[in-house]
Amino acid sequence: MSLRDRLRCALLSLALASAAAALPAAAQRLAADVDCKPTKHDLVYDCRFVLKEAKTGKPVSGAELAVGADMPSMPMAHNVKPVKAKPGAAPGEYDARIELEMFGEWALKLNVRGPARDVIVKKFSAREPVR
């Protein structure tokens, strides 16, 4: 690596670091557990999401959660409209019915807004039921 490349690299990482520092104070890392159960309709799943603070594991209630879905192997091929999740019974729980377009590997995109905000991507594999 030439000196110039090294310099460019250092500048780039500096720029990235300051971009990260510019995030609003309310931004915090969230984590999510996802449990999706098939319904009697193919490709329709009842999903339960548990949102929590990544650092402490504390459940995050009172957030607005919208769940979208995409297939990483088929960029731009799908257009699943994000659905709003409803708060569940326990703290940090949210429920949403997800309707996918084909079986295979999906990435669920959890868009969290409200008191806590983050975007969490979770893999989900939609398996064809054995009949």
Closest separation in Å from C-beta 106 to Cu ion: 8
Complex with Cu ion: residue 90 or 102, whichever CB lies closer: 102
Complex with Cu ion: residue 88 or 104, whichever CB lies closer: 104
Complex with Cu ion: residue 102 or 121, whichever CB lies closer: 102
Those residues with Cβ within 8 angstroms of residue 33's Cβ, 6 or more apart along the chain or in another chain: 49, 50, 52
Tell me phi and psi for residue 20, to 5 degrees: -65, -40
Distances (CA, A) of 25 to 21, 28, 29, 32: 9, 8, 11, 21
Closest separation in Å from C-beta 86 to Cu ion: 27
Residue 97 pairs with which residues in a beta bridge? 46
Q: Please state, as a whole number, how many other Cβ atoms lie within 10 Å of the Cβ of residue 14.
A: 10
Of 130, 101, 92, 108, give the one whose Cα is nearest residue 36: 108
Closest separation in Å from C-beta 13 to Cu ion: 35
Complex with Cu ion: residue 23 or 102, whichever CB lies closer: 102
- What residues line the site for Cu ion (CB under 5 A)? 71, 74, 102
Do 69 and 108 touch, CB atoms closer than 8 A?
A: yes
Closest separation in Å from C-beta 79 to Cu ion: 11
